Structure formats: C-alpha cells, structure tokens
Structure 1
Amino acid sequence: MSVQPFHLAIPVHDVSLARAFYRDVFNLEEGRSSETWVDFNFFGHQLVIHYHPKTPSQESATTNPVDGHDVPVPHFGVVLTWDQWEALAERLKSLGTKFVIEPYVRFKGQVGEQATMFLFDPCGNALEFKAFKDMDQLFAK
C-alpha cells in the first residue's frame, strides 16, 4: 500500500513543552517553526503543533468503550510496522510514560487484530499508536 503523507495541525497551549515532548520522547525531526508553531516529521507524515488556548477536549477527554478499554476521543496517531510499534512501546515504557491504555494486542484472534497503546501529550492531546501483523486487516470487517 502506497499512501501520501497526511498533514495534521493540533492545538497546544504550551509550544515549548509540546516541542520538547514530540522531539525528545518520539525522536521526531523538526522542520520549519516559529514562536507559535513547529513542524515535525511524524513517522513520515507532517504533524504541526500550533499555539492555542486549552480546548475542552484537552481539559478532559470523552471516552468510548473498545475491546474493554475506555478509548479517549478525540485522538490521532499512526499505524506502524509491528517491529516499530514494539520498539516504540519499549522506549515509552523505559521513559516511564504514563499510558491511558497500556500497550497490548486488541481483538486478539479476531478480524482486525492489532497492537495498540494510548497516551496523552503534555497539552492533553490523545495519541494512539497501532500495528498489524497482517496489514490486510487494517480495514477488515
């Protein structure tokens, strides 16, 4: 599957704190920036953090039940390879990351089986990282 990179701009109420988080926790390469925004190479996609006062969803996330877990809404993330996902999960654990949903395999033995984990950035944006051993399961019903 070949896809074009997405562009996603998210609100952050503290640009320097969010900048350090995305740069240092995920080892993301920075692109262009100013005092109020920063571009990042987010696993081949363009993620931009933009200054914005705290939003209601950053104050307290709504959740929906999925596979016995409360998934924060809204959230964003990326689908990684299985090896990338495992390496990221280990890195985040070694950094003492507080997960909303700890790394685990969701829908085990079912259609759409996937590895997933959820966490918040320091500005309250929820992130999900997932992987499939069989990428044909990405949109399977």
Structure 2
Amino acid sequence: MSLSPFHLAIPVYDLPAARRFYGEVFGLAEGRSSDHWVDFDFFGHQLVIHEHPKTASQESAHCNPVDGHDVPVPHFGVVLEWARWEALAERLRGFGVQFVIEPYVRFKGQVGEQATMFLFDPCGNALEFKAFKDIGQLFAK
C-alpha cells in the first residue's frame, strides 16, 4: 500500500515544551520553524505545532469507551510496523512518559486485533499509536 504523507497542524500553548517533546522524546527531525511554529517529520508525515492559546479539548479531554478503556477524543497518531511500535513504546517509557492507556494489544483474538497506546503531549493534545501484525486488518469489520 502506497500512501501520501498527511499534513497536520495542531495548537500548542507552550511551544518550547512541545518542541522538546516531539524533538527529544519522540526523536523527530525538525524541519522549518519560526518563533510561533515548528515542522516535524512525524514518521514520514508533516506535523506542525503552532503556538496558540489553550483550547477546550486541551483543558479537559472528552473520552469514549473502547475495549474497556476511556479513549480521549480528539486524538491523532500513526499506524506503525509492529517492531517500530514496540520500540516507540520502550523509548517513551525510557523518557518517563505517562500513558493515558498503557501499551497493550486491543481486540485480542478478534477482527482488528491491534497494539495501541495513548498519551498526551505537554499541551494536552492526545496521541494514539497503533500496530497490526496483519495490516489487512486495518479496516476489517
């Protein structure tokens, strides 16, 4: 499957903290930047953090129940290869990141079985990272 990179611009109310989080904690390469925004190579996609006052969803996340967990909404992230997902989980643990939902396998033994983890960046933006042993299960019902 060949995909085009997506572009996502998100609000951050503490640009230096968010820049450190995405650059150092995640290890993402930084692209262009200004005093008010920073581009990152987000696993082959373009993520831009823009300085912006705190939003309502950053103040207090809404959650929906999924597989026995409260999933924060809105959220974004990337579907990674299994080994890369495991390596990211270990990297984040090594930096002491607090997970909203600890890395685990969701829907075990069912259609759509996947590894997943949820966390917040320092500005309250929710992220989810997934992996499938069978990528054909990505949209399976």
Range of TM-score over shorter length: over 0.9
Equivalent residue runs for 1:1-141 within 5 Å: 1-141=1-141
3-state SS, counterpart of residue 104 of structure 2: strand
Query: What TM-score comes out, normalization by structure 1 length?
Result: 0.99
Q: Which stretch shifts more, 92-101 or 115-124? A: 92-101
- How far off is 1:112 after superposition? 0.3
Counterparts of 2:14 and 2:96, CA distance in 1: 21
Counterparts of 1:75 and 1:63, CA distance in 2: 10
3-state SS, counterpart of residue 50 of structure 2: strand
Query: What TM-score comes out, normalization by structure 2 length?
Result: 0.99
Structure 1: which 5+ runs fail to align?
none
Structure 2: which 5+ runs fail to align?
none
Percent same amino acid at aligned positions? Answer: 80
Large movers: runs of 4+ above 3 Å:
none
- How far off is 1:93 after superposition? 1.2
Q: Structure 2 counterpart of 1:124, which letter?
A: G
Alignment coverage as a number of residue pairs: 141
Q: Structure 2 counterpart of 1:47, which letter?
A: L
Counterparts of 1:97 and 1:28, CA distance in 2: 16
Task: Please list the CA deviations of residues 64-83 of structure 1 after superposition, one character each: whole Å capped at 9, or x if unmatched.
Answer: 00000000000000000000
Q: Structure 1 counterpart of 2:28, which letter?
A: L
- How far off is 1:5 after superposition? 0.2
**Root-mean-square deviation (Å):** 0.4
Counterparts of 2:134 and 2:118, CA distance in 1: 21
